[in-house]
């Protein structure tokens, strides 16, 4: 079990529950770790780092699990293309790989931009409500000063 971690260790290091870790594996968000002969999952530090990245992405961007799955899927595609790019020698093939990488990054950026649009919409509504409340306070103050 050299270099391998049990789910308890992964849970402690990642800050997630064992149930969440298993669920992320079940829905394909977390790559399945190899298992021991006894069936115990054998996680690595890479799994822990990946889970931390998922958590940060989910918290910072406010992603639902479905959005997170799509974003991580694109991230995995990006990493795969990066590896392929490094192995390609022909300039035309390298250019094609770079075009594919740009398309993946554009998709990821579109997901983030949509989230930003939604956040800005909520912010605009809240600012409007606040201004209306302030205007009402001013009217009340005017009425009170006339008394």
- Asked if the structure places residue 67 within a domain, the reply is no
- Cα separation, 103 vs 9, in Å, equals 37
- Asked if the structure places residue 142 within a domain, the reply is no
- Asked if the structure places residue 26 within a domain, the reply is yes
* Largest separation between any pair of C-alpha atoms in the chain: 85
Which pLDDT score, from 0 to 100, does residue 8 have? Answer: 95
Residue 47 region by backbone torsions, left for phi larger than 0, else alpha for psi between -120 and 50, else beta:
alpha
Q: Which residues of the chain have pLDDT under 50?
A: none
Which pLDDT score, from 0 to 100, does residue 95 have? Answer: 97
- Asked if the structure places residue 140 within a domain, the reply is no
- Asked if the structure places residue 33 within a domain, the reply is yes
Which pLDDT score, from 0 to 100, does residue 51 have? Answer: 96
- Asked if the structure places residue 57 within a domain, the reply is yes
- Separation of CA 46 from chain center: 17
Number of structural domains the chain divides into: 1
Which pLDDT score, from 0 to 100, does residue 3 have? Answer: 83
- Cα separation, 46 vs 24, in Å, equals 15
- Cα separation, 60 vs 121, in Å, equals 18
**Domain enclosing residue 45, as ranges:** 1-61
Closest C-alpha among 44, 42, 40 to residue 14: 44
Which pLDDT score, from 0 to 100, does residue 147 have? Answer: 82
CATH number of the domain that 18 lies in?
Answer: 1.10.1660.10
Which pLDDT score, from 0 to 100, does residue 93 have? Answer: 96
- Asked if the structure places residue 43 within a domain, the reply is yes
Which pLDDT score, from 0 to 100, does residue 2 have? Answer: 66
- Asked if the structure places residue 69 within a domain, the reply is no
């Amino acid at each position: 079990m050299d270099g391998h971690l049990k789910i308890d260790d992964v849970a402690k290091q990642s800050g997630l529950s064992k149930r969440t870790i298993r669920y992320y594996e079940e829905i394909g968000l977390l790559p399945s770790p190899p298992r021991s002969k006894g069936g115990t999952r054998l996680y690595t530090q890479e799994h822990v780092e990946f889970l931390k990245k998922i958590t940060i992405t989910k918290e910072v961007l406010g992603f639902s699990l479905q959005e997170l799955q799509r974003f991580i899927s694109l991230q995995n595609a990006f990493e795969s293309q990066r590896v392929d790019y490094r192995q390609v020698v022909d300039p035309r093939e390298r250019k094609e790989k770079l075009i594919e990488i740009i398309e993946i990054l554009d998709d990821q950026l579109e997901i983030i931009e949509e989230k930003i649009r939604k956040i800005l919409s909520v912010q605009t509504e809240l600012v409007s409500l606040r201004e209306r409340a302030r205007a009402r306070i001013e009217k009340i103050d005017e009425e009170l000063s006339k008394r």
